Amino acid sequence: MTRRFLSLLASCAGLALAAFATPAAAQSTGSATLDAIRARGALVCGTSADLPGFAMLDQKGEFTGLYTDFCRAVAAAALGDASKVRFVTTTYANRLTALQSGEIDILSSNTTWTQPREAALGLMFTGVLFYDGQGFLVSKKLGVKSIRELDGASVCVQPGTTTEKNLADFFRASNMRLNPVVIESVEEIRNAMIAGRCDAFTVGTSTLAAFRAGLGARADDFVVLPELISKEPLGPVVRKGDDRFFDLVRWTQYAMTLAEEFGIASKNIAQRMDDPQPDVQRLLGRAGDFGKDMGVNAAWAANIIRQVGNYAEIWDRNVAPMGLPRGRNALYTQGGLHYAPPIR
């Protein structure tokens, strides 16, 4: 009788342990990256800290900008809480290795989508968050109206970037003499421009706008030339091999684009939850479960919109105050390039 009781007790204990173990096993999302994010309770986002409007560490010690808000949107989709992001400041030199090594989950910064970065580095771009092009900022004192007048100029450029190669290629192809001044720190470049050490600074127009805004009272002493010498599609980057996490990051951006297209914003999402349009119902998780195959719940897109906003909202909050027009970054319905596939 005693042995039978002990055996029954052991069986019950085993069942109890199995009951506790089963939910943990069931919590696997099918994505190693997403599982790690949930285990630590935060998305680790690599970004810049000195790009006003895009990725900036403000005086309160908080990150602001288009790129950092995108990471908050991914956190809202993955964890249901946009505040669960740990930002890691990366540089042009270490940003890709930080992602490769697993130090960060996602890189959301001024990083140009190029073939070698995907084919050779084990990384994947999830989309284009900002369509940019490489331009030039010059001092008004030079009286320069075109980049063709920069023959023999000293040009500030950051190392380890596509802009450095584009600059050399352009000057070589144009039979122009180039005196590159290679400086990594934006603050040092700002000092070099003010001191007259560099005749020009070249980088994507988004960075140029942020750079010029950071000059404060001296901003009017400089002008951005009208020509561009490259295409610079800038977007979030993740590691290859985790397709489910890749899908989640990609569709985070698509959800924000679709929300803008449908006129759904953080301020009116409560009223739009009962919108009978099928596309809206699917986006907001009211019809079907389109989060399941990405390892998240049906409210993933609604969480993004409610907590962070649609694409227009993060643009207006961060980029518009610098005076940059939407241009190519407008919706396709307004002459821009942002076009999201449907959720259905």
* In the predicted structure, residue 10 carries a pLDDT above the cut 80: no
Instruction: Assign residue 260 a region (left: φ > 0; alpha: ψ between -120 and 50; beta: otherwise).
Output: alpha
Q: How far is Cα 192 from Cα 198, in angstroms, rounded to an integer? A: 6
> Of 342, 250, 235, which Cα lies nearest the Cα of 294?
250
pLDDT of residue 214: 80
Sole residue written with tokens 């109890």: 16
Separation between Cα atoms, residue 21 and residue 31, nearest integer Å: 19
pLDDT digits (tens, 9 = 90+) for 68-102: 999 999 999 999 999 999 999 998 889 999 999 99
pLDDT value, residue 8: 40
Helix/strand/coil for 180: strand
Pairing of strands 85-89, 55-57: unpaired
Residue whose entry in the numeric block shows the structure tokens 């320069």:
144
The phi, psi pair for 154, rounded to 5°, reads: -90, 120
Indicate the range of 16-20, 81-85, 243-247, 310-314 predicted with least confidence: 16-20
- CA–CA separation, 311 vs 243, rounded Å? 24
Phi, psi of 65 (to 5 degrees): 135, 170
Helix or strand or coil: residue 277? coil
Taking only Cα atoms into account, the Rg of the chain, rounded to an integer number of angstroms, comes to 24
Entry pTM? 0.84
Q: Which fold has domain 33-131+234-328?
A: D-Maltodextrin-Binding Protein; domain 2 (3.40.190)
pLDDT the model gives residue 213: 80
Tell me how far apart the alpha carbons of residues 66 and 309 are, in angstroms, rounded to a whole number: 11
Measure CA 61 to chain center.
Answer: 19
Reply yes or no on whether the pLDDT at 19 is more than 80: no
In terms of DSSP H, where are the helices of 128-201?
A: 162-173, 186-195
pLDDT, tens only, 187-215:
899 999 999 999 999 998 888 888 888 88
Residue 24: predicted pLDDT: 38
Distance between CA atoms of residues 36 and 44, nearest Å: 10
Total Cβ atoms within 10 A of residue 289 = 13
Buried b / exposed e over 131-164, threshold 16 CB at 10 Å, is bbbbbbbbbeeeebeebeebeebebbbbeebbbb
Residue among 69, 89, 19, 74 nearest 43 (CA): 74
Q: Which secondary structure element, helix H or strand E, spans residue 16, and what is its range?
A: helix 2-26
The DSSP secondary-structure symbol of 14 reads H
CATH no., domain 133-231: 3.40.190.10
Cα–Cα nearest to 147, from 208, 209, 232, 229: 229
Task: Say if residue 27's pLDDT is above 60.
Answer: yes
Q: Are 296 and 248 in contact, with CB atoms under 8 Å apart?
A: yes
Q: Would you say 42 and 36 are in contact if contact means Cβ atoms under 8 Å apart?
A: no
Token digits for 271? 């009223």
pLDDT of 21 higher than 80: no
> Which pLDDT tens digit goes with each residue over 87-146?
999 988 899 999 999 999 999 998 999 999 999 999 999 999 999 999 999 999 999 999
Where in the chain are all domains bearing CATH 3.40.190.10?
A: 33-131+234-328, 133-231
